[in-house]
Chains A and B, each alone.
Chain A
């Protein structure tokens, strides 16, 4: 195969030239590839869907890691669900944390990412503060919720799409257990798809999370390889201080952190919670759709 055609939508599809295949595995029901593309660098696809590319992963990872962590201001214990490529971990360990647990369902994804997508983790899997757990993310939060262990200040759900191995990370039960793993002033964020094409996903998450958190919102950033404009991230917390930090506070925290970013900055942080009108509108669906959708 010389081209990769995404199979996410029936009527439109993005096509990537495969310049060099680094890795391909086909097991029943699962097809994973890592290849090079001149424009985007190394690209990882799973079941016909682009997961991450070297060229634009920074937007996604910076926004899903730094927004909750800098908003919280004193995040010491972090939980990452999924994120086997290591990009999220790389951003998280830039903070002065005490501990990060990453739960990945498949050790081979981590091994493969270290070997074929080395820039994503960039050594983060060696960090002594990391506890890498190979388990189903759902099982993990379910067990952890009742374990009495110290809760997390930030939980980041870096999942695949709702259809596929990440399915359970989009269920009511998962959100409930995750909340029980979160400290009272903690923040939970999840990747939430591209609402221009997947408005339903936005509504489903809103239904699941809004009953759990006093502050449930979305923020967004455009990730070019997630075709369709803005990607949304779901945000849930009971910590009202974290919800709307002053720009000056963010600036202070950010400069104290002293890291270089390529998408994130304190102004973008605040601005990313401003949603385009079509996104706001799709959060209040027409009655026809409510009646028949579920």
Chain B
């Protein structure tokens, strides 16, 4: 039997005024059907401002991949944020909003020639590379572009290791910068991504220090100095509902950044922290049964849909039900015929009825972004509030 699923579960007893919340969700379902994802633009604005305060002087480029949605883009646009893009599809989304390529950076370390051309036509002129093969692909475009060299710093605590697949080792940096110089390509700075959903900022701090000293060392002799440091993403969502505080989290990063020359340009590519808490999933219990000592609930959304992040992103989303009382060992399953389509395997829950709602919190990042078409089930519709 699988271990107890002890993610945060909000029940009637654990929140104030659950009736109001329930009435609001029910109203949305009545209007738009089930399942839904509800995007609250105010939460995104709030998180953007908090991160901006926690990292003063750092330009934020929203990682579009976290949730490539038009409404989300328009909110970031209005806040004056930049965009981290990695594909032609993401550029098309920004083009619809007439967002200038000058407000974007293209961060995919591996690109086909056509992708480089598409990016240039779109107006993105900052590219990221981590090896000599990629540098050579940029030779034809060297007069137009600025390049960030991505360095790998692996974090033990990251839920998603983004320094395993990409990034050169710090020892290779000096060699690659000089190889680029010989190719006539300007490396304007370094970037790193310590991994997504890290517990603490230790790896960011280590990476800032390491990049700082590498850049200073290179600048002693480079004829075109390095002056951009891209500190990536990794800022976590509060999946534990533990009152995560971004100010405190970023304090050591602020310290590390304060040692950098004041004319350097510092940027970050946050995805998850900004958008995770701004989106809530609402699903409906479509069926119920009792099997092998568990109460099974079958939802109208699951692992192949909005909850895909539980598989691809290793996230565990806090859930909320609008029942109270005695708890039973339960299994929450998604709508497809596949047996891996299970949202919670062995979770203690009050008894629900068919037609009840199950709400998933912190479900804005890497959720809808990775949904599949399996079973041809309809997508959860995205509803926008407070735009």
Give min CB distance, A104 to chain B, whole Å: 19
Q: Is B95 an interface residue (CB 8 A)?
A: yes
Does the CB pair B95–A9 fall under 8 Å? no
Query: Would A29 and B144 be within 8 Å (CB), given that A11-B186, A47-B121, A164-B121 are in contact?
Result: no
Q: Count A/B pairs, Cβ under 8 Å.
A: 80
Give min CB distance, A226 to chain B, whole Å: 14
Q: Residue B118 contacts which of A8, A10, A29, A292 (CB distance < 8 angstroms)?
A: A29
Q: Residue A26 contacts which of B96, B136, B142 (CB distance < 8 angstroms)?
A: B96
Proximity string of chain A (281-293) to chain B, C-beta cutoff 8 Å, 1 when within and 0 when not: 0000000110011
Q: Residue A47 contacts which of B123, B141, B144, B186 (CB distance < 8 angstroms)?
A: B123
A28: chain B residues within 8 A (beta carbon) = 92, 95
- Once the chains are docked, how many angstroms separate the CA of A292 from the CA of B145? 17
For B99, the closest partner residue in chain A by CB is A1
Does the CB pair A292–B139 fall under 8 Å? yes
Q: Is A200 an interface residue (CB 8 A)?
A: yes
B124: chain A residues within 8 A (beta carbon) = 7
Q: Is B146 an interface residue (CB 8 A)?
A: yes
**Chain A residue total in the interface (Cβ 8 A):** 29
Does the CB pair A7–B102 fall under 8 Å? yes
Give min CB distance, A4 to chain B, whole Å: 8
Query: Would A294 and B186 be within 8 Å (CB), given that A26-B98, A31-B98, A48-B123 are in contact?
Result: no
Query: Would A9 and B143 be within 8 Å (CB), given that A28-B95, A163-B120, A288-B182 are in contact?
Result: yes
For A13, the closest partner residue in chain B by CB is B102
Give min CB distance, B29 to chain A, whole Å: 34
B142: chain A residues within 8 A (beta carbon) = 200
A11: chain B residues within 8 A (beta carbon) = 146, 186, 188
**Chain B residue total in the interface (Cβ 8 A):** 31
Give min CB distance, B184 to chain A, whole Å: 6
Q: Is A263 an interface residue (CB 8 A)?
A: no
Proximity string of chain A (167-191) to chain B, C-beta cutoff 8 Å, 1 when within and 0 when not: 1000000000000000000000000
Q: Residue B139 contacts which of A5, A26, A294 (CB distance < 8 angstroms)?
A: A294
For A48, the closest partner residue in chain B by CB is B123
Proximity string of chain A (192-210) to chain B, C-beta cutoff 8 Å, 1 when within and 0 when not: 0000011111000000000
For B121, B123, B182, the residue with the greatest tally of chain A CB atoms inside 10 Å of its CB is B121
List, sorted by A's number, 26 A–B pairs whose CB atoms are closer than 8 Å. Answer: A7-B100, A7-B101, A7-B125, A9-B143, A9-B144, A10-B126, A26-B95, A28-B92, A28-B95, A29-B92, A29-B121, A30-B121, A31-B95, A47-B123, A48-B100, A48-B101, A48-B102, A163-B117, A163-B121, A200-B140, A200-B143, A289-B184, A292-B136, A292-B182, A293-B140, A293-B184
